[in-house]
A and B are shown apart, each in its own frame.
Chain A
Amino acid sequence: MKTFSYTIKDAVGIHARPAGLLAKLAKTFTSTVTLEKDGKSMNVTKLMMLMGMGIKCGDTVNFSVEGEDEEAAAKAIEDFMKENL
């Protein structure tokens, strides 16, 4: 399992478009990508839940990636977060 944390820098947080792109990206891997914030965790492919968590600028979220391609998936997700959020 690979884990990493990321603090949101985008002014409006994880909003519709990046949430959609993140879910889409996570679906391209076989690994399960889980996001955790304040004890609540969820699979990031669940777009509505992801949007519903209301993750804002300054929030720190923890990712854990588990599966065959976890190495590549974790790197792709981390790069995506840095670039878009």
Chain B
Amino acid sequence: MIKCKGKGVYGAIAIGNVSLFKRQDEPVRRIHVEDVAGEFARFEDAKALATEQLAEIYEKALKEVGETHAQIFEVHMMMLEDDDYNDSITNIIKTQSVNAEFAVATTADNFASMFASMEDAYMQARAADVRDISNRLIACLSEGEQTREELTQKMVICADDLAPSETVSLDKDKVLAFVTAFGSSNSHTAILARNMNIPAVIGVGEDFLKAAEDGKRILVDGYTGEVILDPDEETESAMRRKQEEDLRGKALLQELKGKENVTLDGTKVNIFANIGGVGGVGAALANDAGGIGLFRSEFLYLESTDYPTEEQQFQAYRKVLENMSGKKVIIRTLDIGADKQIDYFQLDKEENPALGFRAIRICLTRPEIFKTQLRALYRASAYGNLGIMFPMITSVSEVEQILAICEEVKAELKAAGVPYDEQTEVGIMIETPAAAVISDKLAPLVNFFSVGTNDLTQYTLAIDRQNAKLEPFCDTHHEAILRLIEMAAENAHKHGAWIGICGELAADTTLTENFLRMGIDELSVSAPFVLPLRDAVRKLDLSK
């Protein structure tokens, strides 16, 4: 068993046998020619043939990967027509009296090295495009048509590297996966594989290629980038399980992606995703979340050795807002306490951190930290659809203080001419029984509520979530909790606010019906639960 690791460019699992990609790349020989005009004619014929082949590949790509990605072959056709490229080839033929093959190969080397010498990885990948069109020209010059053995069964194609045209030319129905020893994730091959929905791992290294032989058993994990040759039975069956799970998830996605979160009787609900960092956006979008219902901002503080600056925070928030392109993003302000210690905050040890100096209590005691975060948030609001949410609220006066600070921040930004979105919604977490009970007083002050069911459960039932001994007493469906949520929902709606749930209970499909009957407007869950929840919503009928 040999394990190699590269970069997975399309998340999927393949299990099968190796087929080494062979190409006829005999070295180009330099041959002296007398008939320069004849060589020009050979070159023109080859160019016409190459253009014809590229046009065919373009049509195939158009069908298989769509226009955006097929356009590279149009670019290839244009590169073939490029004046400088052509001048270089004809010049070499003329001045050196050499064969067209040699002139093309020399020109290709020159142009490819121009691209390869650039610092930019994206441009370096263009060297492959030049080589690709040049190799095609050379093949057209020598033999006319490129011939390749037809694959008879589905195989894992292994190669040193694949040119974009080689990738598209392969019969998609016979390819289980691509594995290449070299190549970059910016290359068009990687992009094409992604769009052909074929698992691909690139850059596994030369050693892999040495060990790979035609027909050898191979496992390809496009998620982790792991490639395993000659797997033992246990490894293969573990991979098979992962594959089955992956396929099930994708089937659900296929079926539910783009569909509305609507019950049989027409009640709609937003299903958003919870994320804990900028990197979570990918999973949220991949699972078709309608927005971000809870973006925990703690990671900015936890990853840092000192207070994160306004600029650092602004960049992170802006990135998430931009990536969500207009979809709602609710960012929760700092929620730390003695249980989530951060050294530079120098918080005292506490007997009972769950009931201690934490979250909004820290922010209102140390407004300079709070204001830095709020300035970063409002600045970012100009780049998308932001909602700001405050944790651990227990009283009206806390909310009033918060809103006064928000106004201060906005006034400062306005005075400095910094753009922000005046419509930015503000909301509070309902995670203490106190907040739920006085929700009629809180609702008029804010745009939305979001119920944090984890804390609400522990505070309502007076049960420590971390204590396993208390499990038999911890009924997460306790009527008291459900009544508090219902009360908050009623009061929110009475005062024109909306209400969501972002705790673990939001993903509990046995409660979805209860929540929808209460009029909950939004459920925010971790990304993998978005579609199962959508599935559950679409099967409900509230008219019964």
B122→A13 contact, CB < 8 A: yes
Which secondary structure characterizes the binding site on chain B?
helix
Q: Is B307 an interface residue (CB 8 A)?
A: no
A46→B118 contact, CB < 8 A: no
Binds A, one of B14-22, B79-87, B366-374, B501-509: B79-87
Residues of chain A within 8 A of B85, CB atoms compared: 48
B72→A17 contact, CB < 8 A: yes
Given contacts A51-B123, A52-B114, A52-B115, A16 and B72 within 8 Å (CB-CB): yes
Residues of chain A within 8 A of B188, CB atoms compared: 16
Residues of chain B within 8 A of A9, CB atoms compared: none
Q: Taking CB as reference atom, which chain B residue is nearest A12?
A: B122
**Listed residue (A16, A19, A20, A24) with the most chain B CB atoms within 10 angstroms of its CB:** A16
A52–B83 CA distance with the chains assembled, in angstroms: 14
Q: Is B129 an interface residue (CB 8 A)?
A: yes
Chain B interface residue count, Cβ-Cβ cutoff 8 angstroms: 22
Which of A20, A49, A56 is in CB contact (< 8 Å) with B75?
Answer: A20
Q: Taking CB as reference atom, which chain A residue is nearest B130?
A: A48
A16→B129 contact, CB < 8 A: yes
Residues of chain B within 8 A of A56, CB atoms compared: 120
A54→B84 contact, CB < 8 A: no
A51–B115 CA distance with the chains assembled, in angstroms: 8
A46→B122 contact, CB < 8 A: no
Residues of chain B within 8 A of A52, CB atoms compared: 111, 114-115, 118
B82→A46 contact, CB < 8 A: yes
A27–B544 CA distance with the chains assembled, in angstroms: 65
Q: Is B142 an interface residue (CB 8 A)?
A: no
Q: Give chain B nearest CB distance to A1 CB in angstroms.
A: 22
Residues of chain B within 8 A of A47, CB atoms compared: 75, 78-79, 82
Q: Is B358 an interface residue (CB 8 A)?
A: no
Residues of chain A within 8 A of B64, CB atoms compared: none
Q: Taking CB as reference atom, which chain B residue is nearest A15?
A: B122
A54→B118 contact, CB < 8 A: yes
A21–B70 CA distance with the chains assembled, in angstroms: 13
A21→B115 contact, CB < 8 A: no
Residues of chain A within 8 A of B82, CB atoms compared: 46-48
Q: Taking CB as reference atom, which chain B residue is nearest A24?
A: B78
Given contacts A46-B84, A48-B111, A51-B126, A17 and B71 within 8 Å (CB-CB): yes
Q: Is A23 an interface residue (CB 8 A)?
A: yes
Q: Give chain A nearest CB distance to B207 CB in angstroms.
A: 31
B84→A21 contact, CB < 8 A: no
Which of A15, A20, A49 is in CB contact (< 8 Å) with B84?
Answer: A49
Chain B residues engaging chain A, CB cutoff 8 angstroms? 71-72, 74-75, 78-79, 82-85, 111, 114-115, 118-120, 122-123, 126, 129-130, 188
Chain A residues engaging chain B, CB cutoff 8 angstroms? 12-13, 15-17, 19-21, 23-24, 45-49, 51-52, 54, 56
With A16-B75, A24-B78, A52-B118 known, 9 other A-B pairs at CB within 8 A are A12-B122, A13-B122, A15-B123, A16-B188, A20-B75, A46-B83, A48-B130, A52-B115, A54-B120
